[in-house]
Amino acid sequence: MNAGVILPGATLGVLGSGQLGRMFTIAARRLGYRVDIYSPDSDTPAGQVGDVEVVAPYEDLDRVRDFARAVSVVTFEFENVPSATSRAAAEVVPVRPAGEVLHITQQRLREKTFLGSHGFPVTPFRRITTLGELEAAARDLGLPAVLKTASFGYDGKGQQKLRSVAELPAAFAALAGAEGIYEAFVDFSKEVSVIAARTLDGGFAAFPVFENAHADHILDVTFAPAAIPEALSAEAVRLARGILEALDVVGLLTVELFVTRDGRLLVNELAPRTHNSGHLTIDACVTCQFEQQLRAVCGLPLGSTELRRPAAMANLLGDIWISAGGEPDWAAALSDPLVKLHLYGKASPRKGRKMGHLTATGATVEEAVERVRSARARLVPA
């Protein structure tokens, strides 16, 4: 097993086959790598552009080992890959970030416990397995609060906001036997994210802090640089660096943070991969997040994360296709020459499904946000 630099021409393996894998594969191809994709699905966003698309269950560990034998390193674009899958791949080749990073970050209780035990600021939380534990958490940590499933939650899935004691029995029943986590409510003014990379020898680079606006728990618009004081941006990057070092990450990791109304930062969630909020880096930074992931996992020097101009990204959900009654008006959106379109190759749009995104740059953040929102609005004819 070669733990050194993996040079262009080598074949890289990706666990997961969604749009993050697609954009990683496109970046890898630009640098002369081949990319094999492994997931249970066929004709996927990543599989469409990869060299080989292996369609098999994550639980088929013999197939996973065979997949790993054909590549020089394995990374992932989706954290809900079973830990056993990454361990099986790691028997054959390096897996970056390591399976232990995946194990911690794919389960909210493990993640919050790790962060808290290492001194990183998190909202108070409790493990919930019984109605009595939920009632005790409400008494001790107060209401309102958020009850989440401990595993397999993203884009707001498995989350319930609790406002009164009367809601507790129904909320507990909604867990349907799953382990839960009760989090004290955070009075935050905004949400930001830091996407950072770390190399095998400890090299570190972070992108500018992104500010994120959500709609129905799904990221709607991101812009950079975030509209926060410079000292707070520096603190967000310092926290991210500490987390990557504590987890011994080799690769990319996203740190999502709340900015409280009194100007503090709280770590909300971690993602051991590229992130929706970093899509604007493709068009606005010297090095995009996907190339940076590749550089980190292959042992290459990290690229510059400099933001060339203020930029914004708007998600394109399947709702737009529904509102348009078919194909959106791409020409109308692209009538602004500073707007860029990225589609993910998904055949069937549906409500809430991420189908693509738009990015735009501007002289100011406000100009970039207005440009990308206007372009998205033009997709649906009046």
pLDDT per position in the chain (382 positions), as tens? Answer: 335 899 999 999 999 999 999 999 999 999 999 999 999 999 999 999 999 999 999 999 999 999 999 999 999 998 889 989 999 999 999 999 999 999 999 999 999 999 999 999 999 999 999 999 999 999 999 999 999 999 866 655 678 999 999 999 999 999 999 999 999 999 999 999 999 999 999 999 999 999 999 998 899 999 999 999 999 999 999 999 999 999 999 999 999 999 999 999 999 999 999 999 999 999 999 999 999 999 999 999 999 999 999 999 999 999 999 999 999 999 999 999 999 999 999 989 999 999 999 999 999 999 999 999 999 999 999 8
* Per-residue confidence (pLDDT) for residue 30, from 0 to 100: 98
- What phi-psi label fits residue 120: left (phi over 0), alpha (psi between -120 and 50 degrees) or beta? beta
For residues 13 and 79, give the distance between their C-alpha atoms in angstroms, rounded to a whole number. 15
Per-residue buried b or exposed e for 273-302, using 16+ beta carbons within 10 Å of the residue's own CB: bbbbbbbbbbbbbebbbbbbbbbbbbbbeb
For 23, the token pair is 């954009």
For residues 350 and 305, give the distance between their C-alpha atoms in angstroms, rounded to a whole number. 34
Cis bond upstream, residue 337 (ω within 30)? no
Kindly list the distances between the CA atom of residue 355 and the CA atoms of 108, 186, 195, in Å, as whole numbers in the listed order.
27, 31, 22
Query: Do 180 and 131 meet the contact criterion of CB atoms below 8 Å apart?
Result: no
* Per-residue confidence (pLDDT) for residue 151, from 0 to 100: 85
Q: Which amino acid is at 2?
A: N
* Per-residue confidence (pLDDT) for residue 366, from 0 to 100: 98
* Per-residue confidence (pLDDT) for residue 4, from 0 to 100: 81
The domains located in the chain, with CATH, are 11-95 (3.40.50.20), 124-184 (3.30.1490.20), 188-377 (3.30.470.20)
The residues near 209 (Cβ < 8 Å, ≥ 6 apart) are: 192, 193, 194, 224, 225, 226, 228, 233, 236, 237
Residue with tokens 């975030």: 226
* β-strand pairing of 218-224 with 251-260: unpaired
Q: If DSSP codes are grouped into helix, strand and coil, which group holds residue 315?
A: strand
What is the 8-class DSSP label of residue 161? E
For residue 218, the cross-strand partners are 215
Q: Which amino acid is at 16?
A: G
Read off the pTM: 0.95
